[in-house]
Chain A
Amino acid sequence: MATAPEIPEIVFAGTEGGAVTDLDAYVQAGGFRALAKARAMAPDEVIEEVSTSDLRGRGGAAFPTGRKWSFVPKPEQLPKPHYVVVNADESEPGSFKDREIMERVPFRFIEGCLIAAYANQATHVFIYIRGEYDRPFEVLRDALEQVRARADLLGGVTIVLHRGAGAYICGEETALLESLEGERGQPRTKPPFPAVAGLYASPTVVNNVESIVTVTPILELGGAEYAQVGVENSTGTRVFSLSGNVVNGGNFELVSGTTLRELIDVHGGGIAGGRRLKAICPGGLSSPILTADQVDTPLDITSLAEAGSAIGSAGVIVLDDRCCMVEYALRASRFYEHESCGKCTPCRVGTRWLSQILQSIEDGHGTQADLDLLLDVCDRVNGKCLCVLGDSDALVVASCLDKFRDDFQAHIDLGRCPFEESPLAGVLAPAVQHERRFHRELDVIPA
């Protein structure tokens, strides 16, 4: 077992003594210097600095943040209000990094918001925070109160903290914008892209919490300096959320390109109970599953793409050899079925159908033909949907069947699930409590 190397903390720097929730303490430790530095530059120079850092979006799509900002038409080209929207609707199963970022470094995050507002010439920043995130909401609310007392820091920018109402789909940027506008949380068709017509049909940048918080050190260090850390295409550090059958779950800020093995064995303390690793979900539930022999894959954009998966939101879920992969696929599919917004046909219908097929296999009623049907339905969902929610279900289910076909075959051959003590209930919780309330509501519709 390797020993832990020195961790160059960038996002969580300065939190050795705990969360930094006092503005004065943050300022004394050098806080808001990055903002001052940014405001001494032209907005375009700030964007250039972020582009130089090669910061990739931390929400899941890994789009270069600097390039995203450069797409926003300048106010003189498009004389409308410009907005910065921060996606803090962290709902991806296996991902809980934004929660800790907002709780531990709220001022670094707010500083990043103000830098983004300056770079994009926005007057308003909207932080759309997941409704269930009570503690991060309180921390941010208190931090914003402190910042609001300092007009010099705000520089005329209004920051609005908006709580979501419990919909995974509102983490999709256009559904988030719809929800923020008070509409039903459903994705919009693109084009037009938010950069041109986002919130209230005005130019809008939508960034993940971790992307925004990282902008602060990028300005502090300089883009080139930041890009020294990490590997090509994946510069800097990332906050990995580690969960599942490991000894020590939690968030770990590591240099991009660290291997899965190091994350699991060194930082996570290995598999609990001395069991064998079976599968790894490397980037939040929506990333296709990896097998145990892919444990040496480095955690960066290129390597994971080559391994047939994705870095996603860097939520690593570890599964040991007791896990039933049919059950994993079923729990994943039930999640997407539950969270599908219902707007487009393939997702609305396909996620439910996939769950039904998987349930039948898991219950031991599956046939050989069901395996082909399962793959075919995945194929018919994937790439046909309005947003990536349905695609994710199809990709995850197909990857489980592809890589753990023996598990599926065993269910069909035995006519039951061969895994008697599958611990998945503790890894991916079902959405049952919502379902129950939901059906009650349906019952009251008059005939």
Chain B
Amino acid sequence: MSELVTLTVDERQVQVPKGTGLVETAAAAGVEIPVFCYEPRLGPPVGACRMCLVEIEGMPKLQAGCTLTAQDGMVIRTAATSKKAADGQNATLEFILVNHPLDCPVCDKGGECPLQDLTFRFGPGTTRMSYSKLTFDKPIPISPTIALDRERCILCYRCTRFSAQVAEDEQLVAINRGAHSIIATFEDEPYRAPFSGNVVELCPVGALTSTQYRFEARPWEIQNVPTVCGLCPAGCNVSATTREGRVKRILSRNHPEIDRGWLCDKGRFTYPHLYAADRVREPLVRRPRRGLEPVAWEEALDEVERLLREAGGHVVTALSGTETIEQAYALGRLLREGLGAHSAVLPESTSSALDAFRAPLATIGSAELVVVVGDDAVADRAPIVDLWLRQARRSGADVVVVGPAGAVQVAPGEAAAALQALLDDGSELGARLRSSERAVLIWSGPGGGGGARLAEAAHGLGFEGRPGCAAFHLPASPNARAVAEAWSCAADEDESDPEPIRLLIVSGDEAAGSASVRVLAEQAAATVVIGMFQGLAGGWADVVLPATSYLEREGTTMNLEGRLQRLRRAVLAPVPDELAWLSALAARFGVEVPAQAPAVFEELSPRIFGGITEAEVDERQPLAGRAPYAPPPPAAETKVAAPAAPTDEHLLGELRLVRYRPLFSGPQVERVPELQFQRPEPVVELAAADAERRGIVSGDLVSVRSNGTAVDLLARVDRRLIAGVARVAEEHAGDLHVGVEVVKR
């Protein structure tokens, strides 16, 4: 515990821990010190805007309250009790408004603008500035998602500090000086970074606005719906701003343990997928020679009922891991209880053995040693975790990446062995993990038994006894674990043999886009797809039933920490809710499933969540405590396809193709025009040695070939990448096989 000090703020005594900032100290005394530039999440205060000027006894000049900390006996006077401080704040506000265009009536920020709010409280009612204001070209699109209005900018440097000290992309900078200082991107390149959108929310005026939200709504005609992002397993807390039944923007809803108020651009800017041109709005049924045709719901359900009855249990269900817990449970009840169709293809889920090492994501930020093991970049799987890693590093932690592009280089597919090696007596890194009180292990990639190997390692390193140590698995889908649990608790029977597959049910667009699901569809006699977008399944589904988005659903999900969180319906979907028709369909098979999420949850909760009610799942849900360690099932024999030996001695040797799923990918991102610039370039990444041997340098056009197929890509030499590997984003890898040759064109 920090030493407590007693201070006086505007004649009120207050006790706070020594070193507390004066803004927080005053707040504790019930006094507001107005600020613009102060934002503790951005690092040390800068004292730039001078809005927080206060009088402090014993100091001749007014002081910037944001830059000082509480000391015993300090006597602080704010504008409320000090004329000098009030004059100072009036002065600052007058200066800020001297060059401000005062275009509030057409400004997106108007109505929720700190500058507007403070102007009503401080500063003069009229201007004394009778000369020309500074003008700039505006708005300038600093990226397809963000517009910059330099006239409105008050130069608080929040955006540049975020860029430099939080996201560490260092793309936003201040250039020129004095009155001509402006915010710009370096060399006027677009601000292309995974967290760029946060600067829109940080901006205390309307200088940085979202191109998607510009002129779309005014604060007094919107509603903010508290929900959870459904695009990755982190489950960042968000508010969906809606107007007249449409989502207009996504804002962060600061959950200090998960996201600290930051949100990636995928979570923020992907909502227009709700209004995609190829959104499935009516059920579609394939007719001979005519293709898919819209039909009435009753007719579609009749058709699905017919297919289900004909399949007679020879049904396989492919789930996406994006369903709510309630949807997965309702599907399970219908198919398993109603038809005895127990077979399911589930996305990789997270091992429950990790519950013994459960902790909030924020634990990473205060760790002293973080070891990330796996084939994938953390930012591609759960971007917010990348920000926690950066914070840890800034606070002095050692962040060690064990992977194909890590400080400890490990070939793709070998991460599990590298993890196991940490338990060896001779492992120096392992010894440090064993002795640290604040160590974190993260598994970022496929394989590894959904974190089961990680749990074994954490157990072997003695993490259970140390509450500051934690282990996290970053799964590929947002809700895979709870979907699997909900599916499995829906019925008791054993696995049945679906062969030959008469019917394939595909739940969700992610499953519809999966290559292995496509293979199943080819085997199945008929396929029913529940999807949002026609483009994905239009060519091969026999029936397409319209799906809803996470922004249109009520229900619960579980994030990678194992935290149960609540989705709230931001807007009504243009199609019926899945639970409604699942309930109706289940009734035809004599299975009673409620049509409302809370009722479904009430039914499933005793089976997997100890009977808590949905109402107990709070808007900022705390994390459940740790479970005792239970050894996970042992690893199945993993098959690592060894690169084939060169078939021709003229070849320099094959490279192993590593496909990765970039952050900006997936069916939703593909449908948002403003986000296309964030998608990966058609690039193949090569290790320096491999590139050199082939005479390839960064920027060269190369042909990546395997077994009769070839893709032309630009080469990029990555000095951190392990040799023997060609790394290509999934969407650019085409039909390439695992062994490829890269040839300069």
- Report which A residues bind B (CB closer than 8 A): 167, 169, 184, 189, 337-346, 348-353, 356-357, 360, 373, 380-381, 383-386, 438, 441-442, 445-447
Contacts and interface: CB of A to CB of B under 8 A. Distances in A.
A352 B99 CA distance: 10
Interface string B124-156: 000011010010110010000000000000110
12 contacts: A184-B174, A189-B67, A337-B179, A340-B179, A344-B47, A344-B48, A345-B51, A345-B155, A348-B95, A348-B155, A380-B87, A445-B184
B99 A342 contact: no
A349 B64 contact: no
B663 to A, nearest CB: 28
A442 B47 CA distance: 27
A189 B98 contact: no
B177 A167 contact: yes
B128 A349 contact: no
B98 A353 contact: yes
Given A343-B46, A344-B48, A348-B155, 13 more contacts: A189-B64, A340-B178, A342-B177, A343-B48, A343-B155, A345-B48, A348-B95, A380-B94, A384-B92, A386-B64, A442-B180, A445-B182, A446-B140
B178 to A, nearest CB: 4
B180 A345 contact: no
Nearest to A341: B177
B532 to A, nearest CB: 37
Contact of A360 (B51, B62, B131, B177): B131
Leading 9 A-B pairs by shortest Cβ distance: A342-B181, A380-B91, A340-B178, A189-B47, A349-B95, A356-B131, A189-B67, A352-B179, A383-B61
Nearest to B179: A352
Contacts of B91: 346, 380-381, 384
A124 B108 CA distance: 52
Contacts of A356: 131
B49 A447 contact: no
A90 B128 CA distance: 36
B157 to A, nearest CB: 8
A349 B91 CA distance: 11
B49 A342 contact: no
B88 interface: yes
Contacts of A352: 134, 178-179
B50 A344 contact: yes
Contacts of A341: 177-178, 181
B79 to A, nearest CB: 13
B53 interface: yes
A326 to B, nearest CB: 16
A340 B178 CA distance: 4
Given A338-B178, A351-B179, A445-B137, A346 B61 contact: no
A437 B489 CA distance: 72
B99 A349 contact: yes
B495 interface: no
A284 B155 CA distance: 30
Given A353-B129, A373-B128, A189 B178 contact: no
Nearest to B181: A342
A237 to B, nearest CB: 31
Contact of A345 (B49, B61, B176, B177): B49
A447 B88 CA distance: 36
B47 to A, nearest CB: 4
Nearest to B69: A191
Contacts of B181: 341-342, 348
B96 interface: yes
B179 A342 contact: yes
A85 to B, nearest CB: 21
A357 B98 CA distance: 13
A342 B62 contact: no
B140 A447 contact: yes
B682 interface: no
A356 to B, nearest CB: 4
A433 B136 CA distance: 22
B134 to A, nearest CB: 8
Contacts of A337: 178-179
A294 B180 CA distance: 38
A248 B45 CA distance: 49
A386 B47 contact: yes
Given A380-B94, A384-B91, A386-B50, A445 B177 contact: no
Contact of B155 (A167, A342, A360, A380): A342
A438 B180 contact: yes
Interface string B155-177: 10100000000000000001011
B188 interface: yes
A438 to B, nearest CB: 7
B693 to A, nearest CB: 37
B537 to A, nearest CB: 42
Given A384-B91, A446-B188, A447-B137, A351 B178 contact: yes
Contacts of B180: 342, 438, 442
Contacts of B137: 445, 447
Contacts of B99: 349
B50 A346 contact: yes
Contacts of B129: 353
B177 A340 contact: yes
A131 to B, nearest CB: 15
A350 B95 contact: yes
A346 B155 contact: no
Contacts of B67: 189
B545 to A, nearest CB: 47
Contacts of A189: 45-47, 64, 67
Given A385-B50, A386-B50, A348 B88 contact: no
B536 to A, nearest CB: 38
Interface string B386-403: 000000000000000000
A346 B95 contact: yes
A346 B91 CA distance: 8
B53 A384 contact: yes
Contacts of A442: 176, 180
B140 A349 contact: no
B48 A445 contact: no
Interface in B78-101: 87-88, 90-92, 94-96, 98-99
Contacts of B184: 445
Contacts of A445: 136-137, 140, 182, 184, 188
Contacts of A348: 95, 155, 178-179, 181
Nearest to B44: A189
Contacts of A345: 48-51, 92, 95-96, 154-155
A167 B178 CA distance: 11
B178 A339 contact: yes
Contacts of A380: 87, 90-91, 94-95
Given A189-B67, A380-B94, A383-B61, A349 B179 contact: yes
A345 B35 CA distance: 13
B204 to A, nearest CB: 13
Contacts of A353: 95, 98, 129, 131
A220 B94 CA distance: 55
Nearest to B53: A384
A357 B99 CA distance: 15
A341 B179 CA distance: 8
**Which residue among B99, B155, B157, B178 has the maximum number of chain A CB atoms within 10 Å of its CB?**
B178
Contacts of A357: 131
A143 B346 CA distance: 75
A386 B63 CA distance: 9
A401 to B, nearest CB: 17
Contacts of B178: 337-342, 348, 351-352
Given A342-B179, A438-B180, A386 B48 contact: yes
